Amino acid sequence: MEVEIKFRIPDPEKIERVLRDRAEFVIEKIEHDYYFNHPCRDFRETDEALRVRKDVEGVTLTYKGKKIDSETKTREEFKVKLDNFEAARKILEKLGFRKAGEVVKRRKIYRDGDVIICLDHLDGIGSFVELEIESDDVEEAKRRVFRYAEMLGLGGEKSIRKSYLEMVLDVADSN
């Protein structure tokens, strides 16, 4: 399971100062995400996701199941590496999947044990931090990501469940 929480952060530098001291820097990259909708199932309603991601590390196909609780973004997640973004897109489109939207973000990744910390920035939308543990012991992992958020000074903040795709689509709608 992908156990994940996300916060909007007004001051990413402040969070990063803490991370520099105690977490290991992994990579900084631009992620280009291309989301699909199912031909006979509306992923907005079923809360699923199908995505092809392209970044400097390669191309990844991801399926996400519906979120399983109301306070985190925890869900089933399956990922597979691909070697051709355009071909993957074509296969899905030929099968009837339709483009739902695109998201581009700058992501800095840190790791602290099995906690993955992503510092994300989306132009015109803002900066966010995501804390994630890949685990099947969901309750234990949830406790630890929330404890990690407290350590980063986010204890009083409300975690958000809105996806980057929804944020991007909201901005597109308001223009």
> Which residues are known catalytic residues?
35
| Nearer of residues 88 and 165 to Ca ion, judged by Cβ | 165
| Nearer of residues 4 and 48 to Ca ion, judged by Cβ | 4
Residue 95: name the closest of 120, 137, 61 by CA: 61
Question: Which one of 14, 17, 22, 44 is in contact with ligand ATP (CB under 6 A)?
Answer: 44
**Which two three-digit tokens encode residue 164?**
């980057």
Question: Which one of 16, 19, 35, 168 is in contact with ligand ATP (CB under 6 A)?
Answer: 35
* Strands of the chain, DSSP E: 2-8, 24-37, 49-55, 58-64, 77-82, 98-112, 115-122, 126-134
Name residue, tokens 């590496």.
Answer: 81
For residue 16, the partner it binds in ligand ATP, Ca ion, none, with Cβ less than 5 to 8 A by kind, is none
Q: Which residues bind Ca ion (CB under 5 A)?
A: 4, 130, 132
Which of the residues 101 through 120 are near ligand ATP (CB under 6 A)? Answer: none
Question: Which one of 9, 16, 61, 64 is in contact with ligand ATP (CB under 6 A)?
Answer: 64
> Which ranges constitute the DSSP H helices of 113-163?
138-151
